[in-house]
Each structure stands twice: as C-alpha cells, then as structure tokens.
Amino acid sequence: MIIVTGAAGFIGSCLIQRLNQDGFNFIIAVDDFSNPLKMKNLADKKIQEFVHRDVFFEWLDKNQAEVEFCFHIGARTDTAEFDQDIFNRLNLNYSKQIWKKCHLYQIPLIYASSAATYGNGEFGYDDNELQIPQLKPLNPYGESKNEFDKWALLQKDTPFFWAGLKFFNVFGPNEYHKGRMASVIFHSHNQIKATGRIKLFKSHRPDFKDGEQMRDFVYVKDLVEVCIYLMHSRRNSGIYNLGTGKARTFLDLAKATFAAMNLEPQIDFIDTPIDIRDKYQYFTQANMSKLRLIGYKKPFSSLEDSVNDYVSNYLAKDNYL
C-alpha cells in the first residue's frame, strides 16, 4: 500500500495517476473528501481505500504492516489565509504526527515543503539545510512549512528514508478547484477565453518592470517524476528544492498561454491586491544542483512546452489527468 495525503487535491491526484501508470494500484487516499469539485480529480484513479484525514492515524495503527510508502502532500495551501491556528493544526502538528508514525513503523516518507519558505529570497534559493533556520517566510503558510522543515532537521528519531520537497510554482492539470490559489496559467487561460486579454500584476518595485516579476514555474508532471524517483531510490534523506532551476517572467508565461491558444498577446497590468502586496515574491529560482547530485537525471520541461501541453490537452477540453 502507498499512502497519499491530500489525495483529492491538485498535486496529490496527479501523483496517484502517475503511481497507477506504473501499476501501483493499492493507493490509500487520505483527505477530507468534502469538496465535490476536488473529487473529480480522483475519477478513474485506482484507489484501494479512502480514509478521512481525521481518522487516518487510527487507520494507520491498524494497517501499518501493509504500508510501503507515505507521500504527505496534504496541507492548507492558501497564502492569503492568516489564521495561524489553521496552519498549526493542518500543516505543522499534523505533519509532526505523520513523521512520528513513519518513524515508529519505519515507513519511508516524502512530504511537501514549499518555496514560500524562502520569503523575499534574501538568503538565496539554495536548499542548504544549514540556512533553513535563518529563512524569513512572508506569510503564515510559508512559516508553517518552514517551521516543520526546522523541526524535521532537529529530529533524532526519523523514518529510515525521508525527503522534504520545496515545491516552487507548480501548475498543471487538476487545479480546477483551487479558485484564487490556482496557477497564473489557469487564470490566464480563463481570462483569454472570456475577454481575449490577460491581466497581470504591475510591479510595485523600481527594480522590476511590469510583468517582469520572475518565478520558477514547474509543471506538475515533472514534479511527480521526482517523487517517483525518490520513492525508488530511498537514499540521501534531506530537504530538496523542486523547481526547474530556471526563472521565467510572467510576460513569458502570458505569451506562452496566448501561443498555446493560437492568439496574439493582449496584456493589461493591474495593481497587486493590497492584502498580498507586501508579501509578494518578485523572484524565485530553485538551485537544483542538490537533487542532480543524488542522481536525478531527467530534464524539466520548458515553460513553452509545458504550458502548451496543459492548455491544449487539459484546459481547452476541461480534461483531468
């Protein structure tokens, strides 16, 4: 059995599809399963059992002997949420409990961290574990992820293999349910479809022109390949960046979306919302050398190729992965 928490979500459901592709069909899907739109992500997936997150630990105590691996992808991911208690409960304390169970039952563990831990990037974007205590995330979501990373690094009792993956700006199929938190590609496609135009945030910093804010955009299909690799290798425990290693501008992204829809770019710039303006990252770029050093060889898709695949094969047809 392979456990996937956050199973009905964007990344969790794409990971299950990839596991199924390799013949792993005894999947234990853990989530709250209350959102019918999210449940569409799990249609046609091969799943052994659905376990509500509130009873998961009881389930694990009874079934641990049959569990081969745990992917802990589930989390509260809303960067505009500022209720610290929600993050403490769902991101920090829940993750600690999973870690302790995986140590107790010696289940290898991969968990989702985030590039939000890097904040403004004043310490760079190197997944150097010695720097993690110095990082200054810009919002409670990033803080919750960094607090768990710090806690994990201090533990003497660990699963025999574990990896924390700092996901950068992930996009791709199965994010229909995410609303405001869906990727810029998702929102751009919908805007073009409705109006023929895209709205991008203006820059509120003199060192960046409008639309030239940069992100390390990583396609979810590439991300799950890394997860599969680490599941099989089970060596070199630690915290790893998971981006492409190449930052691209939002203008690049907008143009790639128009190109995928066979349209000429029509772009308007709007003010960044006040509630996120001082928490907004202007540049992120993963240093990917650490993952490469432990033997991960597959290339990451270019922004143009991955946007074209996402728009043409999924968004344009309302398809799921």
* 183-236 pLDDT, tens digit each: 999 999 999 999 999 999 999 999 999 999 999 999 999 999 999 999 999 999
Q: How far apart are CA 321 and CA 14, in angstroms?
A: 6
Q: 144 labelled as ligand-binding?
A: no
Q: 246 labelled as ligand-binding?
A: no
Q: 32 labelled as ligand-binding?
A: yes
Say which amino acid occupies 192: I
Give residue 75's pLDDT: 79
Does the pLDDT of residue 77 top 70, yes or no? Answer: no
271 vs 79 pLDDT, higher one? 271
75 vs 270 pLDDT, higher one? 270
Q: 38 labelled as ligand-binding?
A: yes
Give residue 280's pLDDT: 82
185 touches 234 (CB < 8 A): no
Q: 202 labelled as ligand-binding?
A: yes
In the chain, % of residues over pLDDT 70: 98
In the chain, % of residues over pLDDT 90: 88
- Say whether 94 is catalytic: no
Q: 207 labelled as ligand-binding?
A: no
* Band of residue 49 on the pLDDT scale cut at 50, 70, 90: very high
Give residue 126's pLDDT: 97
Give residue 81's pLDDT: 59
Q: How far apart are CA 213 and CA 269, in angstroms?
A: 12
Give residue 71's pLDDT: 98
* Band of residue 86 on the pLDDT scale cut at 50, 70, 90: confident
Please compute the mean of the pLDDT values over residues 111-123 and round it to a whole number. Answer: 94
Catalytic residue of the set 111, 125, 141, 310: 141
Q: Is the dihedral of CA 136, 6, 33, 44 positive or negative?
A: positive
- Say whether 141 is catalytic: yes
Say which amino acid occupies 291: L
Note the pTM of the prediction, 2 decimals. Answer: 0.94
Give residue 276's pLDDT: 82
Q: 150 labelled as ligand-binding?
A: no
Residues whose CB is less than 8 angstroms from the CB of residue 46 and which lie 6 or more positions away in sequence, other chains included: 20, 25, 27
Catalytic residue of the set 150, 178, 199, 246: 178
Please compute the mean of the pLDDT values over residues 80-97 and round it to a whole number. Answer: 78
Does the pLDDT of residue 242 top 80, yes or no? Answer: yes
